[in-house]
Amino acid sequence: MSSPPGDHICPRGGTGLADPALYDVGDPHAVWRALRRRDPVGWHPVDDRSGFWAVTRYADVRAVLTDHAGFTSTGGVMLSMIGRPEPARDQQFAASDPPRHGLIRGPLQRQMTGRAVARHAPAIRSFVREMLRPAGGDLDFAELTSTLPLAFLKPLMGIRAADWPDLARWVSMSVAEHDRDVMLPDGPSATLDRGHRELFAYLLNLLFEHRRQPRGDLVDLLGAMPLRPGAVVANCYSVLLGGAAAIPHVPRVALAELIRLGRYEEWARHPQRIDRVVEEALRFATPAGHFMRLATRDTSVGGVPVAAGEPVVVWLGSANRDEAVFADADTLHPDRHPNRHLAFGDGRHYCLGSAMARMTLRIFFEELFATFSSFEPTGEPERVRSAWLHGIKRMPVVGRRR
Amino acid sequence: MPTRPELEAMLTRLWSEKLNITPVGVEDNFFALGGDSLLAADLLMDVYEQFGIEVDAAVLFLKPTIAELVDEVLAA
Ligand code: HEM
């Protein structure tokens, strides 16, 4: 970093944007705001040997995400992969570049369009109603929303409700390895390895099951592709992790802000622009906080020279608060329009599950607004300690049913 | 059903092939030898195809030695 913008708002002893503590006890938005203004493409050391370019402005983030020739996904796409080899490169579509990327993603994509996912709407709505049915009075809104991914992971992958507590923990270990709730005594790196291996083992068993009894879902589709078994499992892993990790944080972060502003009732009374509510909640929360690429050649980002091989990390949560694009960017506006946020990324890697996530969130907000007339906080929300997953893990509230 | 020494020999050969190293000992850790999760999944699929046994994947991923794997195959 050329200048140390916003050092005072980083937690003590922190190492800047890569420090997971920034996202649970610090103020990442203040840090991002300062970086956007003074150091929009800045070098951030991680340790003596490594570092990354942090890209915080909307326009620069888009430029990186849409330039697949200049910035590769094959070196891993999360900061936790810096300095680790990516064994799934060129085999998992999330860790591949075009054209290879499209060969694997294409067939999945056809099952994940708006029209294709709409057939799951009735099942998702009854799942969400069941989720909300017993809730009322004193509750932890984070716990209440923790099973939301199951609404679609069941039909998409054949995942059983009984497996969810384990899966949710392994997913957390894989994306929030520094969080006290899941970190193993051996530390973050061991936590990451363990979570990852547990998920791989689970998914390989799931693949065996699908071979015995096909369900016509995404696992079967991947299993039938000309891929080695390890690659099939690695792609199942992408879908599971993408699907499971981020989505519950969208309603949590949005509701926490509505409660803070005292505007839940107003939002809940006017649910006719529910699509805009969903987009604004996505923009405001941006739970998948960053993605990484490696420069393929000497190039530049926002006029700053970047050398071949260097990691470039785009901060989606920052891009989505860029005042150059979003007026009054730090305010949650239910009616914001247009709202071209980057919560699902951009370019060829644009979230495979975006249509499913949007539909599920729409149904969730509709049911939430129809079920609860008001919420009051009974404690401070507790955020997740992770440089990647930005969200809330505990949120004590009192909810009043209509 | 192959005996333990036969299984150990077969699995040692399979591991050597996958990891491209020799020798491999029955107490060696698959991941410490340079194996990764993708290779582990390939290996279990090979075990399935050669022996017709679905080993619980957690064994190789969490207790990644040939000795543990043989125990599991013999128990199945
Ligand atoms: C609110 C929820 C979600 C958010 C915020 C989100 C965010 C994102 C983002 C930003 C990317 C781009 C990654 C990159 O550029 O490297 C992405 C990719 C991906 N997402 Fe999501 N996602 C969500 C839900 C889902 C769901 C529900 C699924 C699956 C059912 C899913 C599966 C995937 C997959 C497989 C990729 C990799 C796509 C590729 O590399 O081509 N995501 N997601």
Q: Is residue A9 part of a domain?
A: no
Q: Are A316 and A286 in contact (CB under 8 A)?
A: yes
Does residue A4 lie in a domain region?
no
Interface test with A, best of B17, B31, B38 (most A CBs within 10 A): B38
Q: Is the peptide bond before A248 cis (omega within 30 degrees of 0)?
A: no
Residue A345: give the domain boundaries.
16-401
DSSP for A266-298, please give it: HHHH-GGGHHHHHHHHHHHH--B-EEEEEESSS
Contacts of B64 (CB under 8 A, 6+ apart): B29, B30, B31, B35, B40
Cross-chain Cβ contact A228/B54 below 8 Å: no
Q: What is the ipTM of this complex?
A: 0.92
**pLDDT tens across A42-91, in order?**
999 988 888 999 999 999 999 999 999 999 999 999 998 998 889 999 99
**Residue B8: pLDDT above 80?**
yes
Residue A2 has pLDDT above 70, yes or no: no
DSSP bridge pairs for A139:
A397
Split at pLDDT 50, 70, 90, the class of B56 is confident
Report the pLDDT averaged over residues A125-150: 96
* Global pTM value: 0.95
pLDDT of residue A4: 45
Average pLDDT over residues A14-39: 92
In a domain, A3, yes or no: no
Q: What was the pLDDT predicted at B70?
A: 92
Average the pLDDT over A212-227 and give the result.
97
* A13 has a pLDDT exceeding 60: no
- Which candidate from A88, A205, A231 shows the least CB-CB separation from B57? A205
Residue A15: band (very low, low, confident or very high) from pLDDT cuts 50, 70, 90: low
Q: Enumerate the H helices of B1-76 as residue ranges.
A: 4-19, 37-51, 57-62, 66-75
Alpha-helical runs (H) found in A137-263? 141-144, 150-157, 164-175, 188-212, 218-223, 229-245, 249-261
- A158-171: per-residue pLDDT in tens? 999 999 999 999 99
User: Does A345 reside within a domain?
Assistant: yes
> Measured in angstroms, how far is the CA atom of residue A94 from the centroid of ligand 1?
9
Any CB–CB contact under 8 A between A170 and chain B?
no
The pLDDT confidence band at residue B26, using thresholds 50, 70 and 90, is very high
Task: Read off the pLDDT of residues A265-317 as tens digits, 9 standing for 90 and up.
Answer: 999 987 778 999 999 999 999 999 999 999 999 999 999 999 999 999 999 99
Phi, psi of A118 (to 5 degrees): -60, -25
Q: What is the mean pLDDT of chain A?
A: 94
- Under the banding of pLDDT at 50, 70 and 90, the label for residue B30 is very high
Q: Would residue A137 be called left, alpha or beta, if left means φ above 0 and alpha means ψ between -120 and 50 degrees?
A: left
Contact B44 A204 (CB under 8 A): yes
Contact A230 B57 (CB under 8 A): no
Residue A1 lies in a domain: no
Tell me how close the Cα of A85 comes to any Cα of chain B, in angstroms: 10
Best mutation site among B31, B61, B68, B72 for testing chain A: the one with the most A CBs within 10 Å? B61
Q: Are A322 and A316 in contact (CB under 8 A)?
A: no
List the single range of A103-107, A144-148, B55-59 with lowest mean pLDDT.
B55-59
- The pLDDT-based confidence of A9 (bands split at 50, 70, 90) is low
Q: How confident is the model at residue A8 (pLDDT cuts 50, 70, 90)?
A: very low
Cα(A240) to centroid(ligand 1), Å: 10
CATH class for the region spanning B4-75: mainly alpha
Residue of B nearest to A85 (CA): B36
Considering only CA atoms, which of A343, A392, A318 is closest in space to residue A54?
A318
Cα–Cα distance measured from residue A27 to residue A242, given in angstroms and rounded to the nearest whole number: 25
Q: Closest Cα of chain B to A402: distance in Å?
A: 46
Tokens for A15? 């190492």
Number of domains in chain A: 1
Judged by phi (left if over 0) then psi (alpha if -120 to 50, else beta), residue B27 lies in alpha
Start-to-end CA distance of chain A, whole Å, equals: 52
| Crossing angle for the helix pair B37-51 and B4-19, to the nearest 10 degrees | 140
- Ligand 1 contact, A242 CB (< 6 A): yes
Percentage above 70 pLDDT, chain A: 96
Band (pLDDT 50/70/90 cuts) for residue B63 is: confident
CATH at residue A174: 1.10.630.10
